[in-house]
Amino acid sequence: MKKTNLKNSIILITGGTGSWGKELVKQLLEKEHPKEIRIYSRGEQEQVKMKREFQNKTLSFYIGNIRDKNRLMLALINTDYVFHLAALKHVPVCEENPWEAVKTNIIGTQNLIECSLENNVKKVIYISTDKAVDPLNLYGVTKAASEKLIIAANLKRVMTDFVCIRGGNVTGTKGSVIPLFKEQIQRLNEITLTDKTMTRFFMNLNDAIKLVLKAAKDSIGGEIFVMKTSALKIIDLADIMIKKLGNKNTKINTIGIRPGEKLFEILISKYEAERTYNMGKYFIILPQIKLEKTHKYYKKKKLSKITYEEYNSNNVPQLKKQKIEMFLKSEGWLKNNMQTDALKYLKSLDKKNLRQFFKSEGWTNK
């Protein structure tokens, strides 16, 4: 087994200007001390903002699209490790532009695999999502296909190892319900719920990236690492936020489930549970395909299989309201002056446009 040593290495992060990418860069700089971190993404303005924010010579920036194989090939020269975060992630955008989602999320991932093999990259770490499990929308379908591509890449029997890391919702990132609830309460004095029985996994970004780095180091290729995380009822989250940020007139409007949305999230399907093992801070799913090195390595460890028939946000212990409140408080979400990229955008909208934004996102039907 080749040891993953990020110190003094050259690391490339696709989609590195997003919230996950920024936190990953922060922890890499603080704990791993790589020689160079290459940020590969499409957005010029986001790269400029990130460069100004970090002011660190270890970072270098590459404008490029993962659809562009030639550009990827150049960016990957002498690269040791790749963290693959780039994707079209917005569910409605993927539904309305299906071929674009396929080109970015599936073909782009295959481009990265082929370029990594040709450049003798040591390890590729692919960040996946709960949406890839029993997918209900096109975004989930493309992520599920990408997981299959990443795992099958280990069949090439070359020096590059490929591994998946699957996570659930992370608080405060773009698309997270918490900043949306906060703006709805403070600007519209209401919260919209799609269904009062809905549950979700939740964890903060700092902890998610810690697990990404741990799994990146522990992996040997061919595995899917699944983050262990807390779950909660969305109605409990709404109640706490109304209690702390709203008033007696704050309303909850139930609008019905949105297209492509599930009542609960699944991180390990019933079809995967039989080959899933408990690794302490995370679970590991062994591949269906025959990867002799991977199966042999984990067989020696004599790990315990999970007891869940399916690992979803409904069948794990739910956070009590007191714990949810403590979590929100510790993350700063109960402060009026809380600022994140998601909140900055929402706060830039006047009341009319804010309501229109919520309507376009399916968060309100008025």
Of 168, 248, 162, the closest CA to residue 201 belongs to 168
CB-CB contact of 101 with 139 (8 Å)? yes
H or E segment and range at residue 323: helix 321-330
Q: Do 181 and 351 touch, CB atoms closer than 8 A? A: no
Backbone dihedral region for residue 144 (phi beyond 0: left; psi -120 to 50: alpha; all else: beta) = alpha
| Nearest in space to 183 (alpha carbons), one of 366, 18, 348 | 348
Catalytic entry in 22, 123, 131, 233: 131
C-alpha to C-alpha distances, 9 to 82, 136, 289, nearest whole angstrom: 11, 39, 31
Is 233 in the active site?
Answer: no
Residue 295 CB burial class (10 angstroms; 0-12, 13-18, ≥19): middle
Distance CA 207, CA 26 (A): 13
Encoded tokens for 120: 């003798």
279 three-state secondary structure: coil
Neighbours of 284 (CB within 10 A): 22
Q: To the nearest 5 percent, what fractions of the chain are helix, strand and coil?
A: 45, 20, 35
Q: 226 near 284, Cβ under 8 Å?
A: yes
Catalytic residue numbers, as ranges? 131
